C-alpha cells in the first residue's frame, strides 16, 4: 500500500463546489492527507444556486450536519418539488413533486393504472395522488411524516449557496483544511507525464500537490486551460445561454416549492428563502436582449429588488473528461446545465462521492479514471435529456423561442424514452439515472405527451378495484395533508430550536 502520509490534495476555488469538496475530504480522506484550498476574493464566486433535490440529505448527513443548524446558517427553506408554470401552455401549471405518485399494484407501477383510468375517463390530475404536491400547493410541510403511501415525505431545501459555502468552510477548517487566499497565476506540469505538479500564486507562493481538484468555475483553469480536457457543447439541445439574477424582498406565498415560470424566451425561477426571494431569468440571447431580460425580470418580482440584476453568461455542456491526469473538475469547472431541475449542486456531490469511492493512492490508474468519466458522462447526458423534454414538448405556438424548441433535433436517448412512453406507457430508468420513473411520468404528463397504450396487465384489475385504488389513495392523502402544519411554522420552529441550542 502506498504511503499516504505525504499526500497533498489541492483544491483550486472556493465556491460551493470547492467547499463541498473540502468538507467531504476533510471528513472522509485518511487523516494523514493534507488538504489545502486556494481561492481568490478578487475573483469571487458565482453566488447563485439556491434550489436542491432530496439527495442533498445524503451529503449533509454524511458530514453529520445538524439540519436545524444548517437551515439557520444558510437561511434555508423546505422544498417539496418544482412547479412548472406555463410550460405546456400559458395559464397551465403542473408540478414535478418529489416522492411517489399513487400506489403501484401487483407487478405494475401506478402510472399504468392511471393511464387506464384516463382512458376510462376517471383519472384525476396527478396532484390528487401526490402527497408532496397536495402539501406544497397548500403551503404545508411536515418533516419525517410517515404515510401509507411512502415511508417519508421526501424533501429538499432552498438555501443561500454563498452561506452554504461559508458554513462548509467553517466545518472544513475545523477539520484541518488549510485555506490559502490568493490568485492562481500559473499551473505547473510535469514535463513528461503532463500531470499537474503545483499551482503558482500571484504572490509567488507555490502550492505543490499530488492531486488537484479544479473548482475554479466556468473558466476551468486546471481542467481546460491547462489540461485541455475538451468541452462537449449542448447548445443545440438546450439553447439558453444567459441568466439574469436578482434577489428581492420577501412577499407573496412562502412556497415550499421552487417555481419555474415559462417566459417569452426562457423561464424565470422563484426561490423563497428566510431573508429574501431568489429570482432569475434563464433565456436565449438569440431571442432576447440583456436589457429586455433585465426589465422583464424586474417587472415580475414579489418584492423590491435587492440590487441590480446580475447577468451571467454560460454555455450548456460538459467537459469531455471530468477527470484528466491527476485533476478532477467539480461544479461549474466540470460543465453546466441550467438550473431547471436544480441539479448542479447534486452533480458536485455525486462526483465527490464517486471520487471518494476510488480515492487514488499515489498515481491515478487510467482504468479508474475512465470508469469515473464514463459514469459522469452517463449521469450528465440523462439529466440533459430530462431537461430537454421540458422544452421540446411545449404547445406555446406562435412564440419564436418556444416554436424553435418544439422543432429541436432531440438526443437519440431521449427519442428512445419518448418512443417507449408513447407506444406502451413504458418508462425505463436505466442504471443509476438520477430521475426516477415518477419524475419522468410527471413531466411527460405535464408537458402533454400522450401514451397510446399502457401495460395490459393493468386490465387484470377490476373496475371496482381500480376506483378503490385511485379514490383510496386520494382520500388518504388529502386527509394526511390536512393534519400538516404550515411550511412557515415548521421552518420557524426548527430555526428557533437551533437558535436555542435545542439540537
Ligand atoms: C444562473 C445559475 C443558477 C444556478 N442555480 C442553481 C440551483 O438552483 N441549484 C443548484 O444546485 N445549482 C445551481 N447553480 C449552480 C451552482 O451555483 C454552482 O454549481 C455552484 O455554486 C458551484 O459553483 P462553483 O463553486 O463551481 O464555481 P464559482 O462559484 O464560480 O467558484 C469559483 C471559485 O474559484 C475561484 N477562482 C477562480 N479562478 C481563480 C484563480 N485564478 N485563482 C484563485 N481562485 C480562483 C474563485 O475565487 C471562486 O472561489 C446555478 C448556477 C447558475 C450559473
Residue among 305, 390, 302, 309 nearest 342 (CA): 390
For atom 25 of ligand 1, the residue with the nearest CA is: 15
Q: Which atom of ligand 1 is the closest one to the Cα of 314?
A: 53
Cβ neighbours of residue 415 closer than 8 Å, sequence gap 6 or more = none
User: How is 206-273 classified by DSSP, letter by letter?
Assistant: EEE-SEEEE--GGG-TTTTTTT---EEE-TTT----EEEEEEE---S---SSEEEEEETTEEEEEEE-
Of 75, 79, 318, 321, which is the active-site residue? Answer: 79
Site to probe by mutation for ligand 1, drawn from 16, 46, 199 as the one with most ligand atoms within 8 Å of Cβ, is 46
Measured between alpha carbons, how far is 34 from 310 in angstroms, rounded to an integer?
37
Whether the pLDDT of residue 232 is over 50: the answer is: yes
The reported pLDDT for the residue numbered 431 is 86
Distance, in Å, from the CA atom of 52 to the CA atom of 96, rounded to the nearest integer, reads 13
Q: What's the confidence (pLDDT) of residue 70?
A: 97
- Angle at alpha carbon of residue 290, lines to 285 and 292, rounded to 5°: 110
| Cα–Cα distance for residue pair 239/387, rounded to 1 Å | 11
Report residue 362's pLDDT band, with 50, 70 and 90 as the boundaries.
confident
Query: Would you say the CB of residue 73 lies under 6 angstroms from ligand 1?
Result: no
Nearest to 108 by CA among 449, 433, 441: 441
The CATH architecture one would assign to domain 77-158+382-482 is 3-Layer(bba) Sandwich (3.50)
Q: How far does residue 260's CA lie from ligand 1's centre (Å)?
A: 21
- Residue 319 burial by Cβ neighbours in a 10 Å radius (0-12, 13-18, 19+): buried
Which residues sit opposite 183 in a β-bridge? none
Q: How confident is the model at residue 2 (pLDDT cuts 50, 70, 90)?
A: very low
Cα-to-chain-centroid distance, residue 81: 11
Q: Whose grid coordinates read 454524511?
A: 62
Say if residues 39 and 11 touch (Cβ distance below 8 Å): no
Distance CA 209, CA 371 (A): 23
Identical fold, 4-50+160-235+316-364 and 77-158+382-482: yes
Phi and psi of 156, rounded to 5°? Answer: -125, -160
What pLDDT does 363 receive?
78
- Angle subtended at Cα 189 by Cα 186 and Cα 195, rounded to the nearest 5 degrees: 130
Evaluated on CA atoms 220, 226, 232, 235, the torsion sign reads: positive
Distance 498 CA to ligand 1 centre (A): 28
Confidence of residue 1 (pLDDT cuts 50, 70, 90): very low
The predicted pLDDT at position 5 comes to 53
Across the strands, what pairs with 313?
A: 242
What pLDDT shows up at residue 491?
96
Task: Report the atom number in ligand 1 closest to the C-alpha of 334.
Answer: 26
CA 452 from chain centre, in angstroms, equals: 31
Best residue for ligand 1 mutational test, from 13, 196, 347 (most atoms within 8 Å of Cβ): 13
Cβ–ligand 1 distance for 344 under 6 Å, the answer yes
For residue 22, the CA-to-ligand 1 centroid distance in Å is: 15
What integer pLDDT is reported at residue 503 of this predicted model?
47
Catalytic residue status for 34: no
Q: Select from 338, 317, 341 the least CA-distant residue to 439.
A: 341
pLDDT tens-place string over residues 142-161: 987 665 555 568 999 999 99
Nearest-CA neighbor of 81 among 68, 103, 65, 98? 98
Q: What pLDDT does 48 receive?
A: 86
- pLDDT one-digit tens code per residue, 480-499: 999 999 999 999 999 998 87
- Just give the CATH number of 4-50+160-235+316-364: 3.50.50.60
- Is 337 near ligand 1, meaning CB less than 6 Å away? no
| pLDDT reading at 290 higher than 80 | yes
Average pLDDT, the chain: 95
What would the grid cell of residue 286 be?
438569440
Which tens digit of pLDDT belongs to each residue from 296-328? 999 999 999 999 999 999 999 999 999 999 999
Strand partners, 263: 266
Domain locations in the chain as residue ranges: 4-50+160-235+316-364, 77-158+382-482, 242-313
- Supply the pLDDT for residue 146: 65
Query: In what side-by-side order are the strands of the sheet with 206-208?
Result: 184-189, 196-201, 206-208
Going by pLDDT thresholds of 50, 70 and 90, the confidence category of residue 293 is very high
Atom of ligand 1 nearest to the CA of 50: 8
pLDDT value of position 149? 52
- Using a 6 Å cutoff on CB, does residue 339 contact ligand 1? yes
Give me the sign of the Cα torsion angle 318, 320, 323, 329.
negative
CATH 3.30.70 fits domain 242-313: yes
Choosing from 52, 55, 161 the residue with most ligand 1 atoms within 8 A of its CB, the one to mutate for a pocket test is 161
Q: Categorize the per-residue pLDDT at 373 as very low, low, confident or very high, splitting at 50, 70 and 90.
A: very high
At 105 the three-state DSSP class reads strand
Amino acid at each position: 500500500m502506498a504511503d499516504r502520509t505525504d499526500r497533498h490534495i489541492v483544491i483550486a476555488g472556493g465556491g460551493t463546489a470547492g467547499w463541498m469538496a473540502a468538507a467531504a475530504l476533510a471528513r472522509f480522506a485518511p487523516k494523514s492527507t493534507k488538504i489545502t484550498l486556494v481561492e481568490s476574493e478578487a475573483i469571487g464566486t458565482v453566488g447563485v444556486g439556491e434550489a436542491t433535490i432530496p439527495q442533498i440529505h445524503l451529503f449533509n448527513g454524511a458530514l453529520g450536519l445538524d439540519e436545524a443548524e444548517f437551515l439557520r446558517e444558510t437561511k434555508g427553506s423546505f422544498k417539496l418539488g418544482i412547479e412548472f408554470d406555463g410550460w405546456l401552455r400559458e395559464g397551465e401549471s403542473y408540478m414535478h413533486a418529489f416522492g411517489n405518485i399513487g400506489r403501484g399494484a401487483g407487478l405494475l407501477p401506478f402510472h399504468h393504472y392511471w393511464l387506464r383510468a384516463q382512458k376510462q375517463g376517471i383519472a384525476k390530475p396527478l396532484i390528487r395522488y401526490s402527497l408532496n404536491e397536495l402539501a406544497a400547493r397548500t403551503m404545508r410541510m411536515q418533516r419525517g411524516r410517515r404515510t401509507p403511501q411512502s415511508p417519508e415525505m421526501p424533501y429538499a431545501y432552498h438555501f443561500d449557496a454563498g452561506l452554504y459555502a461559508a458554513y462548509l468552510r467553517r466545518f472544513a477548517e475545523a477539520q484541518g483544511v488549510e485555506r490559502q487566499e490568493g490568485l492562481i497565476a500559473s499551473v505547473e506540469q510535469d514535463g513528461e507525464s503532463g500531470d499537474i505538479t503545483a499551482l503558482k500564486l500571484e504572490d509567488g507562493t507555490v502550492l505543490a500537490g499530488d492531486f488537484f481538484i479544479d473548482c475554479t468555475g466556468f473558466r476551468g483553469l486546471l481542467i481546460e486551460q491547462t489540461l485541455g480536457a475538451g468541452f462537449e457543447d449542448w447548445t443545440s439541445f438546450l439553447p439558453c445561454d444567459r441568466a439574469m439574477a436578482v434577489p428581492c424582498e420577501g412577499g407573496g406565498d412562502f412556497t415550499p416549492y421552487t417555481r419555474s415560470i415559462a417566459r417569452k424566451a426562457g423561464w424565470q425561477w422563484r426561490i423563497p428563502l428566510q431573508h429574501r426571494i431568489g429570482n432569475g431569468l434563464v433565456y436565449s440571447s438569440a431571442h432576447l436582449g440583456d436589457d429586455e431580460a433585465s426589465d422583464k425580470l424586474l417587472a415580475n418580482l414579489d418584492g423590491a429588488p435587492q440590487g441590480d440584476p446580475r447577468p451571467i453568461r454560460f454555455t450548456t455542456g460538459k467537459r469531455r473528461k471530468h477527470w484528466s491526469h491527476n485533476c478532477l473538475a467539480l461544479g461549474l469547472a466540470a460543465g453546466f446545465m441550467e438550473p431547471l431541475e436544480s441539479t448542479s449542486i447534486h452533480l458536485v456531490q455525486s462526483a465527490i462521492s464517486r471520487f471518494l469511492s476510488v480515492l487514488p493512492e499515489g498515481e491515478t490508474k487510467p482504468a479508474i479514471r475512465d470508469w469515473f468519466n464514463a459514469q459522469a458522462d452517463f449521469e450528465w447526458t440523462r439529466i440533459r435529456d430530462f431537461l430537454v423534454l421540458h422544452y421540446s414538448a411545449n404547445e406555446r405556438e406562435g412564440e419564436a423561442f418556444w416554436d424553435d424548441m418544439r422543432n429541436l433535433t432531440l438526443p437519440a436517448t431521449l427519442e428512445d424514452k419518448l418512443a417507449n412512453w408513447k407506444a406502451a406507457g413504458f418508462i425505463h430508468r436505466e442504471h443509476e439515472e438520477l430521475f426516477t420513473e415518477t419524475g419522468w411520468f410527471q413531466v411527460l404528463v405535464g408537458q402533454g405527451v400522450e401514451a397510446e397504450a399502457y401495460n395490459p396487465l393493468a386490465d387484470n384489475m377490476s373496475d371496482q378495484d381500480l376506483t378503490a385504488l385511485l379514490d383510496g389513495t386520494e382520500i388518504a392523502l388529502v386527509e394526511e395533508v390536512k393534519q400538516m402544519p404550515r411550511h412557515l411554522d415548521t421552518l420557524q420552529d426548527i430555526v428557533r430550536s437551533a437558535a436555542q441550542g435545542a439540537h
